[in-house]
Amino acid sequence: MSTRVAVVTGSNKGIGLAIVQALCKQFQGDVYLTARDVGRGQEAVNSLASDGLKAMFHQLDINDLNSITTAAAFFKDKYGGVDVLINNAGIAFKVADTAPFAVQAEVTLKTNFFATRDMLTHFLPLIKAGGRVVNVSSFVGVRTLNLCSPALQQRFRSEDITEEELVGLMERFVEEAKRGEHKQGGWPDTAYGMSKTGLTTLSMIQARRLSKERPNDGILLNACCPGWVRTDMAGPKAPKSPDEGAITPVYLALLPPGTTEPHGKFVSDKEVQVW
Ligand code: NAP
What is the Cα 120 distance to its own chain's centre? Answer: 9
Atom of ligand 1 nearest to the CA of 137: 44
Average pLDDT over residues 21-44: 98
Based on the residue annotation, tell me whether 192 is a catalytic residue of this protein: yes
CA 88 to centroid of ligand 1, rounded, Å: 6
Average pLDDT in the chain: 98
275 SS3 class = coil
Confidence (pLDDT) at 1: 59
Task: Give dist(CA 81, CA 232) in Å, integer.
Answer: 32
Strand partners, 233: none
Confidence of residue 33 (pLDDT cuts 50, 70, 90): very high
| Type of residue numbered 179 | R
Q: Which helix (H) or strand (E) holds 68?
A: helix 65-79
Confidence (pLDDT) at 145: 98
CA 1 to centroid of ligand 1, rounded, Å: 33
What is the Cα 195 distance to its own chain's centre? Answer: 11
Summarize pLDDT for 93-104 with one digit per residue, the tens. 999 999 999 999
Confidence (pLDDT) at 101: 98
Q: Are strands 271-272 and 127-136 parallel, antiparallel or unpaired?
A: unpaired
Task: Give dist(CA 195, CA 117) in Å, integer.
Answer: 11
Which residue has the least CA distance to atom 12 on ligand 1? 10
Picking from 28, 128, 29, the residue whose alpha carbon sits closest to that of residue 83 is 128
Name all residues whose Cβ lies below 6 A of ligand 1: 9-10, 12-16, 35-37, 40, 60-63, 88-92, 111, 115, 136, 138, 225-226, 228-229, 231-234, 238
Q: What is the C-alpha radius of gyration for the chain, rounded to an integer number of angstroms?
A: 18
Confidence (pLDDT) at 2: 84
56 SS3 class = strand
pLDDT at 108 > cutoff 80:
yes
CA 70 to centroid of ligand 1, rounded, Å: 21
Mutate to test the pocket of ligand 1, among 62, 94, 229, 252 (most ligand atoms within 8 A of CB): 229
Strand partners, 30: 5
Indicate the burial class of 1 (C-beta count within 10 angstroms; 0-12, 13-18, 19 or more): exposed
Summarize pLDDT for 151-162 with one digit per residue, the tens. 999 999 999 999
What is the Cα 82 distance to its own chain's centre? Answer: 16
Question: Which string of DSSP letters, residue by residue, matches 206-255?
Answer: HHHHHHHHSTTS--EEEEEE--SB-STTT-TT-SB-HHHHTHHHHHHHTP
Q: Is the dihedral of CA 121, 42, 239, 107 positive or negative?
A: negative
Q: Which of 32, 79, 192, 251 is catalytic?
A: 192
pLDDT at 180 > cutoff 70:
yes
Average pLDDT over residues 61-68: 98
Task: Give dist(CA 115, CA 118) in Å, integer.
Answer: 5
pLDDT at 37 > cutoff 80:
yes
Summarize pLDDT for 114-137 with one digit per residue, the tens. 999 999 999 999 999 999 999 999
Strand partners, 59: 35
